[in-house]
Structure 1
Amino acid sequence: MTSMEQQETLTANGSGRRGRSRDSRLKGPSDKKRSLAALSLASKIGYLTISDLLPTKEAITSALHGQLPIRIYDKGERIFPVEQAEPILFLVRTGAVNVFRKAPSGTRYSVKNLESGAVFGEMPEYGQTMLGAEAEALVLTELAIIRPPEFEAMISRSPTLAVNLVRGLGSRLVEVEKQHEQAAFQTIPARLATLLLRMASSENMVKGISHQDIADELGVYRETVTNAMAELKKAGLVAVGRRRITLLDPQRLVEIDSV
């Protein structure tokens, strides 16, 4: 083979690899990444309960004041999205609700189940959103329907509800700002430490997750995660096994976690 032919072969092979790389990016998120994304929504959807806002039964009775319309949903009946898009919240009175995300292929990824007392829905002005998730009744379920006028009336009747809502939204805003700051200014090893601390079990272990899964979660290349993990391992902070990461020194991980 002449040098010119070798060059053409190398060029063709390189183009093929780049083409395959572009094709893989165009396929969209993997099933594993979609599953991780759904799990990450669990702390963002339906995080409020009526007891968070109103600590006593008397306060709940006073605030609700029998003014909320009630609807009963059969098992498997769709609750959200509603037919006509509008700001709306639901309070689970009895039964249970499954919140899930659906991929373009139709595959469903469960986010969480909500039970009596949970509040969920789409009312961005009060910090509540479904972030593209859907909801259906797991069993025969009774929901109270809360639209903006009803919610504002509840707030006016109960200063406690207003204060607790502001406190809850304030703490979540601080957490979001912290995450943005970490993404902008933390090194990759520090962001990796943050993720491992968040995902670790009570035994300081992270199981069933690959470097690619971590890369998808952090929004970086797998090789970048591998290099960062090697740094943590060399420092004696983690031990890495097959789909298992053990946190050897959680306190030091917390220290490098801070920006």
Structure 2
Amino acid sequence: MPARSLDRSLIRGLDIFASMQEDDLEAVLEGASARQVPAGTPVFEQGAEAREFFLLLHGHLKVVQTTPDGQQVVVRHVNPGDIYGIAKALRRTDYPATSIAVVDSLTLAWPSSRWDPLVARNPVLATNALQTVGQRLQDAHARIRELSTEEVERRVAHAVLRLVQQAGRKTEEGVLIDFPVTRQDIAEMTGTTLHTVSRVMSAWEAKGLVASGRKRIVVLDPHRLVALADAAE
């Protein structure tokens, strides 16, 4: 589907496009296609040739890397308005990870050959890409520090709090992580096992910190969870 045929309110509602002049927006959308990505479907896979880059319009994605020993690691999540698959900006010819739709999603896609001309004409895209790469580096450094120095419970607390920051929505019950997330996902984010995450989450439920169900996590007491994550070992 050509991107120009989309409802402009869907596009203009994203911060990256909100301040663009109409001519600049037309130039950005030129050559872009819009794709529906059903839940559970990969947008691209690790090791595949990086022929395109993307911007998520609606939905939610998780980015998963498979290590040489076959372990899966959830390295980040993609929210509406995020640029992703920017191997071209990293001077890579392949995708370093697999991006999978967590829920039914809608994404824009451009040929990788369009990256340099678009960035040259639209500094907002360049800024967004730089912020994306910078945030990835910060997250990677934080995870390395957590894996090296923190006990499992604190690592799990930091992971849940990152999800709250990215996609938390206040409800009467508490702060809902507003996309499906499983305990296995948390395990893959924290370098631990499903059994360990289940034990930690069950203990938190007993203390009134969280409520969880199938693919659902609600933080009932964010302040106590922050205190737990920041507590000295």
Give the TM-score, by structure 2 length: 0.49
Give the TM-score, by structure 1 length: 0.46
Q: Which has the larger radius of gyration?
A: 1
